[in-house]
Structure 1
Amino acid sequence: MSSPSLAARPFLSPERFAVSLMFLANGFLIGSWAPKIPEFAIRLDLDEGALGLMIMCFGIGSLCAMPLVGLLISRSGSRMPVLWLAAMTVTSLPLVTLAPSIWTAAIALFLFGGMIGGMDVAMNANAVEVEKRLDRAIMSSCHGFWSLGGVAGATLGGLLIAYFGVHVHALLASLLVVLALALAWPRLLADPPPVHPDHTSPNMTAAPRPGLLTAGATVWLTGIICLIMMTPEGAVLDWGALYLRQELAASPALSGLAFGAFSAAMALMRFLGDLVRDRLGAVRTFQISATLAMIGLGAAGLAPSAEWAVAGFAVAGLGLANTVPIAFSAAGNLPGLPQGMAISIVTFMGYSGLLFAPSVIGFIAEHTGFAPIYLAIPVFIAIALAFSGLMRHADRVAS
């Protein structure tokens, strides 16, 4: 008798539990890095410009690793890349903490970014496979666990550093990741590598190969959508507080709520997003979410006071929460390309927006202020909205 399908298993299957843990661990490590930055800068005597270049090493490492891991997934499946990259991330915080010089710290951050970015591609690919087997959306809640991990890592990290120092913090944070990895290792879904149409087994009928040009155009368009929808997160993270302080005369405490309200709303909606998507479908959910994001960012740009801007950022967080998870699910189901390569392209483009768009925004804002920036971003979101039909691939179910 054949084993039961995942669709017959409980709502929180072992496979869903395991991949959610990997998202939690990945977010936890990034969150744990944030409170280390001041000590890192002081220890290596870095000014703001030098620190910015060091942090860029993390982003470059991530972007370099993503296509390589995508190629690996297309050949061997996602399970082992997730697990081995997660195992390697255990060394990341100690390496950064112990780096004795600027050059060794730059290398440590490059490797840290590479492990985190590569793991990001692999765990998203694994989540797509679990969605297919469960016949149920899980991607938004996985990203919700990533957000939760980031908050937990930053909060716990600040406390541990304050009371025990950076070395104890790095050790304890790494041990928590080891615990998550130990729980996930036997439960993570073992997905086989994709069967290409020209390499079918004798018992399989070769499916027609979609045109590679068409498949390539679709995956790049999906990547552009992801880039557009991740750019506002960087815009609020890096510039929201400054906008409230400089242009709306907010107090330091109130200005800190810019990203706080945005990220809290995003995390909440990500845990609700799978239920919404299962009920409305990926395209309709994306359209409603993108519209909310446009309204929220527009309201923040037009806000007469800091309080109204914070409310606008919260609405934008509700809207943006599920757009990127839906885009990742769609990329994992695109016909004509191996899943790992499609997700790596979309992830690469999305994180490019998150990492580099804030620098462009800062340059433009020197001449225009930030309010026009937050009014202009919805125009780009409207472009993504025009191509929202591509999100239908997120609803594909494996046969």
Structure 2
Amino acid sequence: MHIAPVLSADRPETRLATRLSFAVAGFGMACWAPLVPFVKARLGVDDGVLGLLLLCIGIGSIVAMMVTGVVIARYGTRACILFGGFGLTLLLPVLTQISDVTVMAAALALFGAVVGTLDVSMNVHAVEVDRAAPRPLLSGFHALYSVGGFAGAAMMTVLLSARPDVLTATLIGAALMLVGMIITAPRLLRGGQAGDGPLFVRPRGVVLVLAAITTAMFLTEGAMLDWSALLVTTSGLMAAEQGGVGYMLFSVAMTAGRFAGDRITARFGDRAVMVWGGAMTLAGLAVLLLAPQAWVALSGFLLIGLGASNIVPVLFRLAGAQTVMPPALAVAAVSTAGYAGILAGPAAIGFIADIVGLKQAFWLLAVLVCTVPLAAPLVTARRR
């Protein structure tokens, strides 16, 4: 496979485009979340039908993620980033105007497809920019996704609270994303990873290990989002009204950790980040599960956020650096595995919790996180 000269990726404008791509992706997804109740009311469906409709987003994303790696391997990242970013911009207001369930299912599948396309392509682009830079950059790129998510959620909350006009609110959000994508478009790498390499390679070797670890980490993030509040409230540590405080601290700690992550990785290396980050995540889960008081549990949330913050960026870097398969396809495989963890993980935890209890399900999650420090020597054995 022919790789564009790495020096072309080491430019301030290319780094800006990468940061904006991550920010737009986080912003767009955060803008969608507050719209779900309005969409449900417009369609007049029950919770069961709504759940099936939301599943269309996941199906569209996973299919697109698998296809995007193939497209990038041949044509590069730029076209896929533009398709994902501009598609997200266009679809967000459209979703608020659909009144037919079948049309909404198709639109949500397309929405998931553009999100999945953007997710894979911006990560492949970020890996290429990171490889060309004299210092690590991936954690900072991922931090911008969190910042975009916070900004999108805050903006939509303010707009819908002041005036519940969903079309106007989404048009404002779409306008902001449009500006971001217009700035991004001319600054993206044009060569990317295009070349004569194979269009499909079955994931194998170290890529399978990286995909498995990524699944475990994304499953952890999904569990913190969907189940952590219930964990602390059913344990009697916090009242229901305060259950979301833990996840808030987790999110703040993860964002802060990613802003500092590039300096940490440059100083200590990928292996140390995986070993100590995995150990800190494990310690946080243990503190959370054994906490006798609320403030102890909250410190567990902080430890989990800080520990987990830079593991996924390192995994993407390693996927782009390995040589057993084309980097674009490897990053796509790792992205798809991670998304599958977020999509199926919370449901799996609910199923396990129904059998053995929620706290025991979280202990099983801790067992999965053990793979991070244990596998670190293997996946970082050499710079691939």
Q: Report the TM range for the smaller structure's normalisation.
A: over 0.9
1:289 is aligned to 2:277: yes
Whole-angstrom distance in 2 between the partners of 1:390 and 1:92 = 42
1:253 is aligned to 2:252: no
The equivalent of 1:53 in structure 2 is 52
Q: Deviations over 1:313-349 (max 9, x none)?
A: 1210111111111111111111031121111111111
The equivalent of 1:176 in structure 2 is 176
1:155 is aligned to 2:143: no
- 1:301 and 1:373 in contact (8 A); partners too: no
Q: Deviations over 1:211-258 (max 9, x none)?
A: x88x72221111001001111111110011111222225223321112
Whole-angstrom distance in 2 between the partners of 1:282 and 1:122 = 22
Whole-angstrom distance in 2 between the partners of 1:346 and 1:169 = 34
Q: CA deviation at 1:5?
A: 4.0
The equivalent of 1:224 in structure 2 is 212
The equivalent of 1:273 in structure 2 is 261
- 1:241 and 1:256 in contact (8 A); partners too: yes
Which amino acid is 1:42 matched to?
Answer: A
| CA separation of 1:66 and 1:197: change in aligned 2, threshold 3 A | closer
Q: CA deviation at 1:183?
A: 1.1
The equivalent of 1:380 in structure 2 is 368
The equivalent of 1:302 in structure 2 is 290
The equivalent of 1:370 in structure 2 is 358
- 2:205 and 2:324 in contact (8 A); partners too: no
| CA separation of 1:302 and 1:395: change in aligned 2, threshold 3 A | same
Q: CA deviation at 1:195?
A: 4.8
Q: CA deviation at 1:123?
A: 0.3
Query: Taking structure 2 as the reference length, what is the TM-score of the superposition?
Result: 0.93
Q: Where does 1:69-148 land on structure 2 (aligned, <5 Å)?
A: 69-148=68-147
Q: Deviations over 1:60-93 (max 9, x none)?
A: 1110100111000100111221122211111121
5+ residue gaps, structure 1? 199-211
1:332 is aligned to 2:320: yes
Which amino acid is 2:83 matched to?
Answer: W
Q: Where does 1:184-203 land on structure 2 (aligned, <5 Å)?
A: 184-195=184-195
Whole-angstrom distance in 2 between the partners of 1:318 and 1:49 = 36
Q: CA deviation at 1:284?
A: 1.0
- 2:274 and 2:372 in contact (8 A); partners too: no
- 2:74 and 2:196 in contact (8 A); partners too: no
Whole-angstrom distance in 2 between the partners of 1:159 and 1:192 = 39
Q: Deviations over 1:27-77 (max 9, x none)?
A: 001110111112122222233332222221111111010011100010011
Whole-angstrom distance in 1 between the partners of 2:192 and 2:28 = 28
- 1:265 and 1:314 in contact (8 A); partners too: yes
Identical aligned residues as a percent: 33
- 1:328 and 1:343 in contact (8 A); partners too: yes
SS in 2 for 1:185: helix
Which amino acid is 2:308 matched to?
Answer: L
Whole-angstrom distance in 2 between the partners of 1:334 and 1:279 = 21
- 1:333 and 1:393 in contact (8 A); partners too: no
Task: Please identify, of 116-125 and 383-392, the stretch whose mean Cα deviation from structure 2 is larger.
Answer: 383-392
- 2:10 and 2:132 in contact (8 A); partners too: no
| CA separation of 1:82 and 1:4: change in aligned 2, threshold 3 A | closer
5+ residue gaps, structure 2? none
The equivalent of 2:16 in structure 1 is 17
The equivalent of 1:31 in structure 2 is 30
- 1:121 and 1:343 in contact (8 A); partners too: yes
SS in 2 for 1:179: helix
Whole-angstrom distance in 2 between the partners of 1:249 and 1:46 = 36
Q: CA deviation at 1:394?
A: 9.1
- 1:330 and 1:393 in contact (8 A); partners too: no
Whole-angstrom distance in 2 between the partners of 1:79 and 1:392 = 29
Which one of the candidate residues 243, 247, 254 is aligned to 2:231? 243
The equivalent of 1:317 in structure 2 is 305
Whole-angstrom distance in 1 between the partners of 2:246 and 2:45 = 27
Q: CA deviation at 1:383?
A: 2.1
Which amino acid is 2:102 matched to?
Answer: W
Whole-angstrom distance in 2 between the partners of 1:73 and 1:86 = 15
Q: Where does 1:56-67 land on structure 2 (aligned, <5 Å)?
A: 56-67=55-66
Which amino acid is 1:97 matched to?
Answer: T
- 1:331 and 1:393 in contact (8 A); partners too: no
Q: CA deviation at 1:182?
A: 1.1
Whole-angstrom distance in 1 between the partners of 2:126 and 2:383 = 14
Whole-angstrom distance in 2 between the partners of 1:54 and 1:389 = 42
Whole-angstrom distance in 2 between the partners of 1:334 and 1:77 = 18
- 2:83 and 2:114 in contact (8 A); partners too: no
Which amino acid is 2:58 matched to?
Answer: G
